[in-house]
Structure 1
């Protein structure tokens, strides 16, 4: 299943995520995913495993032209020249000449002028053909509005935390109205299993399990199917071959309208990840190594 972005580029709807995947296991996970049928890999400079992602792609034997590679610029590399160099670092580690999707990892709201300069660099890379699409991550409606006022290219993607316990309807609405694809990180609510009250997570939620039983599927598969039927792109992560395969096996069933509404009704309003406005250079700045 593919989704057409607002600039006409086609992107596989499901990608393998490698957040918090140790470098020593990243290569195997990426190669396994590509052998399973995935054609979209999502990484980031701040994950410190881009090099291993590139090795996994090469090890898989799948031709580069068939793989959609997405990565992110970390806030430490915001600024026009800095972000142009961030592209060189990421592309070098991945071992590629072009990136399919290059996005800003956080809005850096307290120094938004640096964010604007970084996005201007993404626009330049897009114009030069170094990247096929550009976007953002963790941008809320006010960040998107400020970006639109200062730049000319509408982001193709806004990657945000989205799962049945935290659906972010306001930012999703703005994304849709602006022609920006909502891409879900933690799409099966993995973050709910180790943040806050770990006794209640999306994986043991009785309502989700009931829907899963009705379809002969797992809770994870139901949540991924829910996201796809909402029109989202999803980035599930796993290093276990059986889970990687399970997360990709979501195209042979369909949720009913009642089931879709039931999943939406599980909203808690509790964000699992950090508030995007709390991400500052002082607290989260980190050096991104050279290629």
Structure 2
């Protein structure tokens, strides 16, 4: 096991992995309570492995022009203990996004559009997807093997994953049957030149409903800041299920207000169009 994948990193290990001196890390802890530190007996600092990714994200956001306070605040906000799904994290961080009720058939069309565009345009993307159950992942496995060929990271998750799946070129992780992630459908493509994210959760009480007609509440976005937050949530949530040696997604280029408004309008218009298609069917 890689040293950084074990819990309980020392301050010198975090400093070596991030290039931030131990003195600076102590100053951040004193002034900002970041990165979060636990104390062993004897008062020695110990950090979780995720602290390395958190510090690196702060450095990248600082290079993007954010103040230290703003960068630390953004990294802290990206993952919350109450976030049990990507959908929950995106809704908490971006409550302004429209939520639409869509059928599984429409979600599949939107998912395929995101996957195809990502394959055509994105350079070394970080890809994450939640397929609910293994049979849904199995039907898309060939598409995702192709996506993984040019991806920096490609992680997919479902319930009922067998050992054979773990030997493919994809990082495939098992979702426990009782996990909230088993009710989620998600696709995240995060890259410097292309970003798109879709997260949806299945509404309860649909036993006996045909698969294509199952209804989900969905959010999606092309805004790099939103997609970066979705990627961080997916990385942390799927990492908790056993992803090995997968680098954390990089922070997004921060869009200006006009760009964010345009992406928000595009998502809203398309969701309304998809809702009309759902109604027509």
TM-score (norm 1): 0.30
Bigger radius of gyration: 2
